[in-house]
Structure 1
Amino acid sequence: MRRSRPWRAAGLRLGRGMRLAILLATSLSWLAVYGPARAQAPARPAKATAPVQGPVAAPVIACPSLANYRLLRREAPDEAAALARLADAKAEHLGCTAYPRDRVAALADHVALGGAQYDCLALQGTAVCQWTTAGAVDLPAPKPKPASPDRPRR
């Protein structure tokens, strides 16, 4: 018994290339309709991790520019508001980022400006120090540079 081929009954003869083209078009239209729905399907929940023991340290908010850090803190004076601003993808971050405390390697610099004190943090993985409020991270202060012996101190 021969297979029924509806296109032959209608008097059409389709070559192999035309059949492949129809198959390809059908597949692509199926992907166009059902592909985005699959991509937007809710992801499976992640495996439960062990609960963290002890208090979790808040991240350190720091900026590569002291002027930008001061502007951020003027617009968002408390820690929660600054973290919320940095979490907002549409907000202007001024180059500032919330870094985990374990990335801080040392204090690179310290400055007092306008009655406030700031520390510049040396972070692991970058050569640019990041400015933050003094005392935000408990690390030893940088050692003062010794005066050169051939220049007298004033």
Structure 2
Amino acid sequence: MHTAGSFCNDYQTCAGKVSALQSWQVATFGYFDIAYNYLIGGDGNIYEGRGAGVENAWMPSAIDICYIGNYIRNYDKVSTKMDKAGQRLIARLGIQGYLTSDYVVIGQNQTYNTQSPGDNVYEKIVHWPHYDSQLYFST
């Protein structure tokens, strides 16, 4: 998924955006913490939200990775370091035992009607191992 907000490309800015998202989501939605398990900034860093051991706010039994920015076609682009960070995170989660061997990678737009993760993220994840093109819309 993506935050659909503004892009960041340095640690201080990205960490500030994660903190602001956390404050906003707690105040607006009454969550106990930020909604996401992990976030990836334009600086290539992975920011831990709820972490892998805590269910995210969007999809039970899933670990979500949220790119900071707006990745709809004409907006932000996913850099090579951001793409690699997402893949490294998934590999690490597998090593740590948080993923089953038959896990699938999907975009948020495969779970309900949304533009997230944006075309520019989606174009990357379709090439990742375990990507699954099926729709997972709940009934």
- The two structures have a TM-score, normalised by structure 1, of 0.24
Larger radius of gyration: 1
Structure with greater contact order relative to length (CA < 8 Å, sep ≥ 6): 2
Q: Please, what TM-score do these two structures have when normalized by structure 2?
A: 0.25
Q: Could you say which structure has the higher strand fraction?
A: 1
